[in-house]
Structure 1
Amino acid sequence: MNKDVILIVGSNGQLGTVLTEKLRLNYGAVNVIASDLYKKIGSEDNFITLDATDFKAVEEVVLKNKITQIYHLAAILSAKGEQNPLGTWDLNMKTLFNVLEVSRLHKVKKVFFPSSIAVFGENIDKENTLQSSNLTPTTVYGMSKVAGENWANYYFKKYGLDVRSLRYPGVIGYQSLPGGGTTDYAVDIFHKAVKNESFECFLDASTMLPMMYMDDVIRATLELMEADKEKLTIRTSYNIAGMSFNPEQIALSIKEYYPDFKIAYKPDFRQVIANSWPKCIDDTAARNDWNWKPEYNLNLMTKTMIENLK
């Protein structure tokens, strides 16, 4: 029986670090190749240095290793992306095009492309934002994800390439530091709390945003990739939901463990980005098509984060 050989593009990031470990548990370390621009100190073997903007380099890795699945995670995120809009667009789109085209040419069976709640803009219902809501994002990162969703759908419809995608909310995990996203305050706040430091939040206290704990994120990703192809009705990107909370609520949750924890609010340019995003997400399609259901709420996530960071 032929075994899957998986390539993870952009494995050094917050998601890639955990996803690599989980895929190696499921498929065997020898069958999961991590790649990024540089090798992290202490990273596992079976790592390839790869510049995903280089088409020939991506093609060579796929052919040499007989890759059957690609998880394409490389991207510049929302807040960081606004510091260099054109560079963000170029990198996010070129790497995606290279992955899609190499996969088409060399019969890669499945491609995973992460989208984001950043695809949504101001002119939506922000309560239980629907799968079919209008997509007019306010950031270059969001624009690149909307374009990516449409290209994923195009490659599926025109070429039959099995591209699958989730619109991730804010991702919270203990395994790595924040990576330049607008929801990253919800990771940094835990690092400050366990060090008995105060926290200055770049969003105001009432900014409600969709979030998801890392274990749920990884499980959702793998469940989608393992789902029956015939049951998938969304070929742009699935809405996916975990929980929604604001900075004041997460601070109160942390105070259950650190009663003296202090938070101050100093909104910056990221507040404008957050204001354009949904407060909570309707993920009915994911629940219907592949039985998605989150396991973590705010209190369980806070307990787990603090236990692991300590």
Structure 2
Amino acid sequence: MVFNATTTARRSLPQLRRFASVTAPTPKILVTGALGQLGVGLVQLLRNKYGANNVISSDVRKPTAAMRSEGPFVFGDVLDYKQLESIVVNNDVTWIINLSALLSAVGEMHMDRALAINMQGFQNTLELAKRHQLRILCPSTIGAFGPSTPRDNTPDLTIMRPTTIYGITKVHVELMGEYYHRRFGVDFRSLRYPGIISADTEPGGGTTDYAVQIFHSALKDNAYKCYLGPDTALPMMYLPDCLNGTVSFLSAPTESLTQRTYNMAAFSFTPKEISAKIAERVKGFETTYEPDYRQAIADSWPRSLDDSIARKDWGWKNEYDLDGMVDDMLVRLRK
């Protein structure tokens, strides 16, 4: 990925990065919630960059034998602080990536569990970052915005009054992370992810999951019943771009960051638009619409994001547009 140059008092950003690449030790990374939609691919990408033994995946679920063979795995529950601390200390962890969370639709059905995992689980990892001087990344979401937020080209700093428990917990993540950075010097980082589209893993219970399910239904049944209305526009991103952007953000020197939480987006589309793109490539494919409770959630979120600060500060740039994503998804799923 190509980074834009900015300047500091002593060195330009490219100079800082060259300096950091020579002097910075290889990080030892713990990824919690590593068996979820983002975790599997992120762990693979980090292992390619930093070495398999330097990236520890953890989850409360059992990995496959293939996953175990690819690198270290430990059972890790973000609600168990002592267990997490023993993993951090015994493995000399320097970065922690907390992907453990209940997403929007599932969180509405299991509020107590969402509060525990999304808030107390995050607080445990944040305390570990403070106590052991760790770099910490915990993703946020477009769900952190609400119906009073400007819905088009939504900026990084704006009104945030979410209407879901998932969104509320992620506002907590953003504010607590910024507080720990300001008060204790914790290197906290967060990205507001849009809907993530992936051919490799199952959807995780989010409102934007229709954009993954529609591809499976198109190839299996040549039809799809969508739980959102046809004109519901939402920001989206293809998983390879999400993973590459996350790794770039993680490795960016702290001097290049002007804020701790960034919008990150690629393109926006409606169910009608993605259905038309698939129909161009899958003969006879049709979509019907029966909106359910997830429609109200989607209607409270932005239609598009302004991620210009991420593009300026640390060089974020998506490679896939809508057509490229649709083509690649169909090729991969057909295999």
SS at match of 2:133: coil
Partner of 1:125: 150
Alignment of 1:1-310 (within 5 A): 2-41=25-64, 42-45=66-69, 46-108=72-134, 110-235=135-260, 237-310=261-334
Aligned-pair identity in percent equals: 43
Which moves more between the two structures, 276-285 or 82-91?
A: 82-91
Which moves more between the two structures, 196-205 or 11-20?
A: 196-205
What CA distance in whole angstroms lies between the structure 1 residues aligned with 2:149 and 2:94? 38
SS at match of 2:249: helix
Q: How big is the shift at 1:203?
A: 0.2
SS at match of 2:97: strand
Cα-to-partner distance string for 1:174-229 (whole Å, 9 max, x where unaligned):
01111100000001111111224411110010000000000110111111111121
What CA distance in whole angstroms lies between the structure 2 residues aligned with 1:241 and 1:3? 29
Cα-to-partner distance string for 1:107-150 (whole Å, 9 max, x where unaligned):
22x11110000010011221101111101001000000000000
Cα-to-partner distance string for 1:74-116 (whole Å, 9 max, x where unaligned):
00000000002232112211110110111211122x1111000
Normalising by structure 1, report the TM-score: 0.97
Q: Given that residues 156 and 306 in structure 2 are in contact (C-alpha distance below 8 angstroms), is that contact kept between their aligned partners in structure 1?
A: yes
Q: What CA RMSD, in Å, does the superposition of the two structures yield over aligned residues?
A: 1.1
Q: What are the ranges of 5 or more consecutive residues in structure 2 without an aligned counterpart?
A: 1-22
Q: How big is the shift at 1:231?
A: 1.6
Q: Given that residues 39 and 47 in structure 1 are in contact (C-alpha distance below 8 angstroms), is that contact kept between their aligned partners in structure 2?
A: no
SS at match of 1:43: helix
What CA distance in whole angstroms lies between the structure 1 residues aligned with 2:116 and 2:220? 38
Q: Given that residues 104 and 159 in structure 1 are in contact (C-alpha distance below 8 angstroms), is that contact kept between their aligned partners in structure 2?
A: yes
- Deviation beyond 4 Å, 4+ runs, structure 1: none
Which moves more between the two structures, 72-81 or 33-42?
A: 33-42
> What one-letter code is carried by the residue in structure 2 that aligns with 1:222?
V
> What one-letter code is carried by the residue in structure 2 that aligns with 1:31?
N
Q: How big is the shift at 1:3?
A: 2.7
Which moves more between the two structures, 90-99 or 194-203?
A: 194-203
Q: Given that residues 149 and 161 in structure 2 are in contact (C-alpha distance below 8 angstroms), is that contact kept between their aligned partners in structure 1?
A: no
What CA distance in whole angstroms lies between the structure 1 residues aligned with 2:105 and 2:61? 22
SS at match of 1:151: helix
Normalising by structure 2, report the TM-score: 0.90
SS at match of 1:111: strand
> What one-letter code is carried by the residue in structure 1 that aligns with 2:240?
D
Q: How big is the shift at 1:40?
A: 2.4
Equivalent pairs, count: 308
What CA distance in whole angstroms lies between the structure 2 residues aligned with 1:123 and 1:92? 23
What CA distance in whole angstroms lies between the structure 2 residues aligned with 1:27 and 1:149? 27
Q: Given that residues 78 and 182 in structure 1 are in contact (C-alpha distance below 8 angstroms), is that contact kept between their aligned partners in structure 2?
A: yes
Q: What are the ranges of 5 or more consecutive residues in structure 1 without an aligned counterpart?
A: none
Cα-to-partner distance string for 1:2-49 (whole Å, 9 max, x where unaligned):
431110000010000110111111111111100000222232331111
